């Protein structure tokens, strides 16, 4: 009896250990750190994740999901510190993944996702999530950029939205003559200078990298683009009283919603902001030198999963749930963002409720993303934020500024 009692006790202990998350058990708590896409407590991303996690936990007893949401100003630094301290979360939904992938800290998408879910990602977003041809970054939210214009100001001046640089300049001059404070808002301040820079580089026929992925920051086309911005836009007094190097995108968006801006590049969130303030606006593709730009800028934020805690199977189950068509659509509609999957994109394209996003959605297939697969990109982007605004200032030299940025990018790339 003593042996039997001991055996029963041992079995009971084993059951208790399994219930507490012992080896082979699904009874775990996953930690997710995520960025906040809301603009107020009422629509904080915490509410989205809490609702989604509760639905997942109901279907998957034994797996809990603990989500901490931080502002975009803080979230990347929070995750970086957690990883440095040896306490990586199971998942992070932030702005960059490649440095963690390069140091071997991440599961690949192939490790985690079912085949139908992984194959549902939009191809250009899946490709952008690769390091050395292996996908580690899973796109979570995306957007494209269009040129916004104030319809009221344009109607009063008898203007049509521009399709070329010359037309953009002519419209800006006409708006300035009518007393518009900021005919064209050119935010090259540190908040998001890398975005405005890329949009103009693409409209000038180049970009941050060439066709084989080598940095081409000081390409002849890019130098010509910034010479035009300096001389034909900023130098003509068409970008308002704040120097572009001091103007952040948030300030530019706020000025647009006050009716002080004639034109600026914007993402879908600006539609909601402008509508709340009663601003009549239109959107058109970014003008190019002789016609609309060949491509616009696309942006993706990333989901990644860290190896440290070893919860591969449970993380995979959760991410399969996260990327279901319904959940991707719910998030995209809540925050006026574009879906990252084919299934949700097709549904959105056919749904009348989503017509306000249709033009942004149409630009996505031909959009170009930051070179996020380069582990040097974070350093290069930081340099662009610091320096690019000076290129269009009164004493600026676009060729010299872009040349310095190119040399820094080459050095960062060679240091890898």
CA distance 131 to 64: 30
Helices (H), 165-311: 165-177, 193-203, 220-228, 249-257, 269-276
Number of compact structural domains in the chain: 2
Confidence of residue 299 (pLDDT cuts 50, 70, 90): very high
Q: Which two tokens stand for residue 279?
A: 């601003």
Question: Looking at residue 10, what is its pLDDT?
Answer: 38
Q: Which of 76-85, 250-259, 363-372 has the lowest mean pLDDT?
A: 363-372
Question: Looking at residue 38, what is its pLDDT?
Answer: 86
Quick check: 67 pLDDT over 60?
Answer: yes
Does the CA dihedral 247-79-51-321 come out positive or negative? Answer: positive
Do 122 and 156 fall within a single domain?
Answer: no
Do 339 and 387 fall within a single domain?
Answer: no
CA distance 210 to 334: 36
Question: Looking at residue 31, what is its pLDDT?
Answer: 98
Q: Cα 19 from chain centroid?
A: 39
Confidence of residue 179 (pLDDT cuts 50, 70, 90): very high
Quick check: 388 pLDDT over 60?
Answer: yes
Dihedral angle at the C-alpha atoms of 359, 360, 362, 365, nearest 10 degrees? 170
CA distance 112 to 95: 20
Count CA atoms within 13 Å of residue 302 on its CB side: 29
Helices (H), 130-206: 151-157, 165-177, 193-203
Average pLDDT of the residues in 37-44: 84
Do 70 and 182 fall within a single domain?
Answer: no
* Pairwise pLDDT comparison (404 vs 42), residue with the higher score: 404
Average pLDDT of the residues in 68-74: 90
Quick check: 274 pLDDT over 60?
Answer: yes
Do 173 and 270 fall within a single domain?
Answer: yes
Confidence of residue 17 (pLDDT cuts 50, 70, 90): very low
Q: Average model confidence (pLDDT) for the chain?
A: 91
The angle that helices 45-59 and 325-335 make with each other, rounded to 10 degrees, is 170
Residue 152 domain boundaries: 146-296+376-414
Do 401 and 342 fall within a single domain?
Answer: no
Q: What digits encode the pLDDT tens for the residues 147-161?
A: 999 999 999 999 999
Residue 6 is assigned to a structural domain of this protein: no
Residue 61 is assigned to a structural domain of this protein: yes
Residue 275 is assigned to a structural domain of this protein: yes
Quick check: 23 pLDDT over 90?
Answer: no
Average pLDDT of the residues in 98-122: 96
Decide if 109 contacts 135 (C-beta within 8 A). Answer: yes
Residue 220 is assigned to a structural domain of this protein: yes
* Pairwise pLDDT comparison (270 vs 43), residue with the higher score: 270
Residue 113 is assigned to a structural domain of this protein: yes
Question: Looking at residue 230, what is its pLDDT?
Answer: 98
Three-state DSSP class for residue 285: coil
Confidence of residue 416 (pLDDT cuts 50, 70, 90): low
Dihedral angle at the C-alpha atoms of 406, 409, 414, 416, nearest 10 degrees? -170
What DSSP letter does each residue of 103-133 carry, written as one string?
A: TT-B--HHHHS-HHHHTTB-HHHHHHTEETT
Question: Looking at residue 294, what is its pLDDT?
Answer: 84
Average pLDDT of the residues in 170-183: 98
- Residue 337's nearest CA partner among 363, 351, 353, 357 is 357
Q: What percent of the chain has pLDDT over 90?
A: 81
Does the CA dihedral 344-347-352-358 come out positive or negative? Answer: positive
Confidence of residue 73 (pLDDT cuts 50, 70, 90): confident
Confidence of residue 269 (pLDDT cuts 50, 70, 90): confident
Quick check: 8 pLDDT over 60?
Answer: no
Residue 279 is assigned to a structural domain of this protein: yes
Q: What digits encode the pLDDT tens for the residues 253-264?
A: 999 999 999 999
CATH number at residue 70: 3.40.190.10
């Amino acid at each position: 009896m003593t042996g039997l009692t001991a055996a029963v006790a041992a079995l009971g202990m084993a059951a208790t250990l399994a219930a507490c998350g012992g080896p082979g058990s699904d009874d775990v708590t996953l930690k997710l750190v995520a960025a906040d896409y809301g603009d107020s407590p009422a629509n904080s991303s915490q509410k989205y994740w809490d609702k989604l996690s509760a639905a997942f936990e109901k279907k998957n007893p034994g797996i809990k999901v603990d989500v901490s949401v931080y502002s975009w100003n803080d979230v990347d630094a929070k995750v970086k510190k957690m990883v440095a301290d040896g306490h990586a979360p199971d998942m992070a939904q932030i702005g960059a993944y490649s440095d963690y992938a390069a140091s071997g800290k991440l599961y690949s998408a192939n490790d985690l996702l079912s085949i139908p879910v992984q194959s549902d990602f939009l191809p250009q977003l899946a490709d952008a999530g690769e390091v050395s041809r292996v996908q580690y970054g899973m796109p979570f939210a995306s957007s494209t950029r269009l040129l916004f214009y104030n319809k009221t100001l344009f109607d009063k001046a008898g203007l049509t939205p521009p399709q070329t640089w010359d037309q953009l300049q002519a419209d800006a001059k006409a708006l300035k003559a009518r007393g518009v404070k900021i005919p064209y808002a050119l935010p090259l301040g540190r908040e998001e200078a890398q975005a405005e820079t890329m949009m103009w580089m693409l409209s000038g026929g180049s970009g941050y990298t060439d066709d084989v992925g080598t940095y081409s920051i000081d390409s002849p086309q890019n130098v010509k683009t910034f010479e035009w911005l300096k001389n034909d836009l900023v130098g003509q007094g068409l970008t308002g009283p704040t120097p572009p190097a001091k103007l952040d995108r948030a300030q530019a968006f706020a000025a647009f919603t006050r009716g002080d801006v004639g034109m600026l590049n914007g993402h879908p969130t600006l539609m909601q902001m402008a509508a709340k303030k009663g601003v009549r606006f239109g959107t058109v593709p970014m003008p190019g030198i002789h016609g609309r730009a060949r491509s616009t800028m696309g942006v993706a934020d990333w989901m990644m999963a860290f190896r440290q805690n070893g919860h591969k199977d449970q993380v995979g189950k959760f991410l399969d749930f996260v990327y279901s068509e319904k959940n991707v659509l719910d998030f995209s509609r809540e925050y006026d963002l574009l879906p990252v999957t084919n299934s949700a994109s097709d549904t959105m394209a056919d749904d009348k409720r989503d017509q306000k996003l249709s033009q942004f959605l149409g630009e996505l297939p031909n959009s170009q993303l930051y070179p996020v697969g380069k582990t040097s990109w974070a350093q290069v982007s930081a340099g662009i934020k610091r320096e690019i605004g000076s290129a269009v200032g009164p004493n600026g030299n676009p060729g010299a500024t872009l040349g310095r940025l190119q040399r820094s990018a080459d050095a960062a790339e060679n240091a890898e």
